[in-house]
A and B are shown apart, each in its own frame.
Chain A
Amino acid sequence: MQIQSDYKNGVLYMRLSGEVDEHNAVAARSRADQLADRYATCERVIFDLSEVSFMDSTGIGFLIGRYKRFRRYGVPVYLMNTTKAVDKILEMSGVYTLMPKM
């Protein structure tokens, strides 16, 4: 699981790729939080999930954890390019009510 970031016009894009599981999430978590702290003044954050090849319930915890981190800074979080498999997991767990799809 990798994270690539891109900052444009007040928007922080975080593109997740690879397999999101418990083992892989550890490094990605601290990387994402470093970015959160660095871009604490951005207007919003968008997670791009198009390159996620696998996700289990770790993805729910990961996204909600980042949502809470950004909420400290008053920054709203959005999700984009979710695959069918990712949709199935995030929808059933209510993640889209916290982080809308765009």
Chain B
Amino acid sequence: MKNYMKLELAAIGENESFARSAVAAFALCLNPSLAELSDIKTAVSEAVTNAVVHAYGKESREHSLWIECRADGDEDGGVLHITVTDGGCGIEDVERALLPFYTTLENDERSGMGFTIMQTFMDGFSLESERGKGTKVTMLRYIGREKIPNEKNQDAVKERTDA
């Protein structure tokens, strides 16, 4: 089965919770474990929060962010692709932005761990950004049987079969 969804949302804080819940609900078609769902929600929350707080500055309320998801698989699992896009200011130094603990909003108690979390919680990650044009985060997560066989994934498979 192939499935997809596209969402356009106002880039406002109120939508952070909605966005991660919507993606989690979409992912249910691949029958993920609770741990897999939790990872997906966290990674989506990071990407969406970045579009809300960094992309548009104070005019965030006037702007949109876009989420696209594709699922390829069935109730035994599969692959989930997620992109989160904004049309904001873009990132000047992408390599630097990816470093753990790097943030340009230290005074707002940002931790600088957003991209590190997206990279460690998902199985694939890429970042495209152009100054003045916007930012696009692409993430991929294997769910269930499609998992690449490493230790972390074995745990998830076991959890599903135990459930």
Q: Using a CB–CB distance below 8 Å, which chain A residues touch chain B?
A: 19, 21-25, 29, 54-58, 60-62, 64-65, 84-85, 88-89, 92-93
- CB–CB A23/B13 < 8 A: yes
Chain A residues with Cβ under 8 A from B121's Cβ? 88
Tally of contacts, chain A with chain B, CB under 8 A? 64
Q: Is the interface of B mostly helix, strand, loop or mixed?
A: helix
A24-B144 Cα distance, complex, nearest whole Å: 32
**Contact of A22 with B111 in the complex, beta carbons under 8 Å:** no
Q: Which A residues lie within 8 Å of B108 (CB)?
A: 61
Count how many chain B residues have C-beta atoms less than 8 Å from C-beta atoms of the other chain. Answer: 25
A-B contact pairs, 15 of them (CB 8 A): A22-B16, A23-B14, A23-B16, A23-B17, A29-B109, A54-B41, A56-B42, A56-B46, A58-B109, A58-B111, A60-B111, A61-B108, A61-B110, A85-B38, A93-B113
Known contacts A19-B17, A22-B16, A84-B35; is A60 also within 8 Å of B113 by CB? yes
When the two chains form their complex, are residues B52 and A22 in contact, meaning their CB atoms are under 8 A apart? yes
A22 touches B117 (CB 8 A): no
Chain A binding site: helix, strand, loop or mixed by DSSP? Answer: helix
CB distance from B133 to the nearest CB of A (A): 24
A89 cross-chain contacts in B, Cβ below 8 A: 42, 113, 117
A61 interface neighbour in B17, B100, B109, B117, Cβ under 8 Å: B109
Q: In the assembled complex, which residues on chain B have CB atoms less than 8 Å from the CB atom of A60?
A: 111, 113
Of the candidates B13, B14, B100, B117, the one whose C-beta lies within 8 Å of that of A56 is B117
Which residues of chain A are within 8 angstroms of B111 by Cβ–Cβ distance?
57-58, 60-61, 64, 93
B38-56 contacts to A (CB < 8 Å): 38, 41-42, 45-46, 49, 52-53
The residue that B49 contacts in the complex, of A21, A29, A65, A93, with Cβ under 8 A, is A21
Contact B42 A58 (CB under 8 A): no
Complex alpha-carbon distance, A20 and B113, angstroms: 15
Does the CB pair B114–A57 fall under 8 Å?
yes
* B117 contacts A57, C-beta separation under 8 Å: yes
Contact, CB under 8 Å: A57 / B17: no
B104 within 8 A of A: no
CB distance from A27 to the nearest CB of B (A): 11
Check B109–A56 contact: CB distance below 8 A: no
